[in-house]
Amino acid sequence: MNRFDYVRPATVAEAVVAAAEPGAAYLAAGTNLLDLMKGGISRPGRLVDITRLPGLNQVERLPDGALRIGALVRNADLAHDPDFARAYPAVAEALLAGASAQLRNAATVGGNLLQRTRCAYFYDPASACNKRQPGSGCDARDGENRLSAVLGWSDACIATHPSDFCVPLVALDATVEIEGRAGRREIALDALHRLPGDAPERDNVLEPGDLITAVRLPAAAAAFAAHARYLKLRERTSYAFAVVSAAAALKIEDGTIREARLALGGVAAKPWRARAAEQVLAGGTPTPEAFRQAAEAALADARPSGDNAAKIELARRIAVRALALAAAGTPDRIPALPGSCFSSVPGALHAV
């Protein structure tokens, strides 16, 4: 591990100044960053410890009905908040479907948004990876790539974004609050992450020193609470990232879908909002055929990036099933196996 400076600022403004220096990185729980440092993937020259910054570990309801979640709120604390789980069940389910209990107890909301890809070639310093070393090539293109992207990828990079949490957040129009050298600004979470293009080393649109201070869910997001689910297909039921995942949320009135939200995970370098599928569903009835048509629309532009054509069909099926589960109604309690295709039927569940 390389030598680095350690800084613990007292305010957000001090943190932004300290992190704007070349080679600096923010440190919160470190559940991803420390692994990258140990493996020699990330070699920051300065760590800016933000764990004790005031006001970033709170959840508050704003006057307009939106919910503001501080960037240092722990994943487990948020998921296990009964009021939060009732208002945003798909988000709570996604949080509990991610990582292990130990990691959820440590990991933060802001860090979850910014975790880096789990592509094996990115984690292997002996492999060519444009994301890790721009211009070196992409060994994943001709390597083991059955889990790689099927949407939005480029010849320079076929990695996927690993977050579960981000998928329902994107579906529910979450926004991100950022403090930077130019002051405070807000952007849609859907605009935070970048597709690789010819610059895959840039995961997101943040500038040096930018600090995510909060995630905000609009008041309208809670209106989907009665019909919202998150579903994740993975190679083992626990401690695994998604092969594909889907967050589905519906407003159903008198047997008609008044509004639909659908986002996919594990298919691209960012959580993928399936707006074409939402348009297919709006105004129709919640039937299996409607869900299949929506899934086709969601994956219409998908194409294999290697030996992963099967992933496109898996994504279609997970979208159909997530929509069907959402239409059936949100269970009163989080499923015993959150987000899992093998979860028991509603009724055999445990409380948050």
Q: What pLDDT is recorded for position 348?
A: 35
Query: Residues of the chain whose pLDDT is less than 50?
Result: 347-352
CA distance 193 to 270: 6
**Cβ proximity of 8 and 52 under 8 Å:** yes
Encoding tokens for residue 289?
Answer: 């055929």
Length of the chain as a residue count:
352
Give the angle 312-325-176 at the CA atoms, nearest 5°.
75
Strand, helix or coil for residue 279: helix
Q: What pLDDT is recorded for position 350?
A: 36
Note the pLDDT tens digit of each residue in 328-345: 999 998 888 899 988 865
Q: What pLDDT is recorded for position 351?
A: 38
Tell me the sheet residues that pair with 245. 232, 265
Q: What pLDDT is recorded for position 239?
A: 79
Q: Are strands 24-27 and 46-49 parallel, antiparallel or unpaired?
A: parallel
To the nearest 10°, report the CA torsion of 262, 268, 270, 275.
Answer: -30
Q: What pLDDT is recorded for position 1?
A: 61
Give the angle 284-286-290 at the CA atoms, nearest 5°.
70
HSE on the CB side for 267, CA within 13 Å?
A: 33
Give the angle 187-193-198 at the CA atoms, nearest 5°.
130
Give the angle 92-272-81 at the CA atoms, nearest 5°.
10
**Cβ proximity of 140 and 121 under 8 Å:** yes
Q: What pLDDT is recorded for position 267?
A: 98
Give the angle 294-158-190 at the CA atoms, nearest 5°.
50
First-last CA distance in the chain: 40
Q: Which residue in 153, 254, 244, 138 sits closest to 194, CA to CA?
A: 153
The model carries a pTM of: 0.96
**Cβ proximity of 69 and 47 under 8 Å:** no
Structural domains present in the chain: 1-51 (3.30.43.10), 226-328 (3.30.390.50)
**Cβ proximity of 228 and 330 under 8 Å:** yes
Who contacts 172 (Cβ-Cβ below 8 Å, separation ≥6)?
A: 88, 90, 91, 217, 218, 221, 224, 249, 261
Give the angle 196-198-199 at the CA atoms, nearest 5°.
65
Strand, helix or coil for residue 186: strand
Which helix or strand (DSSP H or E) is residue 48 part of? Answer: strand 46-49
**Cβ proximity of 228 and 303 under 8 Å:** no
